[in-house]
Amino acid sequence: MGVFEAVYIISTVLVAAKIITDTRTASKTLAYLLLIVILPFVGIVFYFTFGISYRKNKFYDFKVERNQAIYEEVIRYINETNQRVLAENKEELSSFKNTIMLLANGTKSPAIGGNAVEILQNGEEKFERVFEVIRKAKHHIHLEYYIYDADEIGLELAELLKQKAREGVRVRFLYDALGSKLKKRFRKNMSEAGVEIKPVNEIRFRILANRINYRDHRKIIIVDGHEAFTGGINVSDKYINNGRGEVYWRDTHLYLKGPGVFYLQYLFLSNWVHTNEKLIGFDRAYVNNEECPENKIVQIAASGPDTKPAIMYSTVSAIHNAKERLYITTPYFIPPDPVLLAIKNAAWSGVDVRLIVPEVSDSKLVNAAAYSYFSELFDAGVRVYLYQKGFVHAKTMLVDDMVSQIGTANMDIRSHELNFEVNTFVYDKEINNNLYNDFMHDLDDCIEINAQEWAGRSKLKIFFEHLARLLSPLL
């Protein structure tokens, strides 16, 4: 045996042992093992670049510790609020009590009433409302974005943020260093105007940066602790369908006003503390509990490397409670096993289950992996639609006529287990009906996949799709 072969065998065995010891899920373990076997050395480099968990490392230990400190200051408010909402809405929420309690007990996120909620379609509606609310800011503006492009809309928003900072409003701005490639000059101009701007995970050498495995995929704006925006729409011209973008971009965002903003504020401040590695007091000025007459009930599900996979858990719980309909829109459908099984169980139980995904994704490999799931969805009775008008980027889920979920998380393993994500549950028939109408309207721009025709695809295509699925835990 030559030296090269010996080095390869020893390194592969050692890395395989580390993968088996450190990786939490069987599917991801097998995917990494397959990768290091079929792609010698390249697979090992890929694992050490993207695969090592930082959950046990000091980088996230600091964040978990500070999260707990913030929790303890608001724990009484959380418990009292959740119990009051359940008691006052016992009949309407009885079917979804388990989901509510899962989030309340598991992540300290209460169901909170007294909110105004508005569904915003596409960038055209989102940015008009965002500018309107930010212009009125008096105390603080907090932003956290995966993608913030310094293009026309990004520069326009930046100018407004700088203006508010000069007026004395405290502006804090977090961005993901992988998704937002903001140049030094842009950051310097923001800082000089008084905007506090920081990357959540600073990346100095992208090709060697393990932290890109944990992306801050959230999209959050909070104004004066009382108004907020969250959902699928980043800050970029491509999200606005007025000729700026190359393709029609179908997306969904949420405007929230009221006490429910509280938990989004907590999420932002905990990431701000993590980024700056310096504790700040939980100032009451950051929490405005004034209730709105609309009285919508909301609950925030958040996931990240510092928390439980609460989005996956709560999504599974809500699906299990479905009795009549389950309508899902997602740009990437590579579901973790618990989510896939819950969807199939719902369909087998007679629930009307429908799924909208893009006909063409921005990744052929992701597309192929998603396609590999369709046959078993058809076998369970799920109806699958391909969106054709452009690219559908919305991440929404409707359960019966009462529960809606709007968020940043794709229905894939990365969103559910690795990224910083945030989804909002809205327990309200009016909002559910609005999203239902949007879903039915989107079906006009879709084609439904015929199960028999789908089964007749070429063997080579099916093979490629299933090969891509083997790597799906890594996508």
Q: What is the 3-state secondary structure (H, E, C) of the chain?
A: CCHHHHHHHHHHHHHHHHHHHHCCCHHHHHHHHHHHHHCCCHHHHHHHHHHCCCCCCHHHHHHHHHHHHHHHHHHHHHHHHHHHHHHHCHHHHHHHHHHHHHHHHHHCCCCEEEEEEEEEEHHHHHHHHHHHHHHCCCCEEEEEECCECCCHHHHHHHHHHHHHHHCCCEEEEEECCCCCCCCHHHHHHHHHCCCEEEECCCCCCHHHCHHHHCCECCEEEEECCCEEEEECCCECHHHCCCCCCCCCEECEEEEEECCCHHHHHHHHHHHHHHHHCCCCCCCHHHCCCCCCCCCEEEEEEEECCCCCCHHHHHHHHHHHCCCCEEEEECCCEECCHHHHHHHHHHHHCCCEEEEEEECCCCCHHHHHHHHCCHHHHHHHCCEEEEECCCEECCCEEEECCCEEEEECCCEEHHHHHCCEEEEEEEECHHHHHHHHHHHHHHHCCEEECCHHHHHCCCHHHHHHHHHHHHCHHHC
Residues annotated as part of the active site: 217, 219, 224, 393, 395, 400
**Structure tokens given for 158:** 């930046």
Strands 252-257 and 227-231: antiparallel
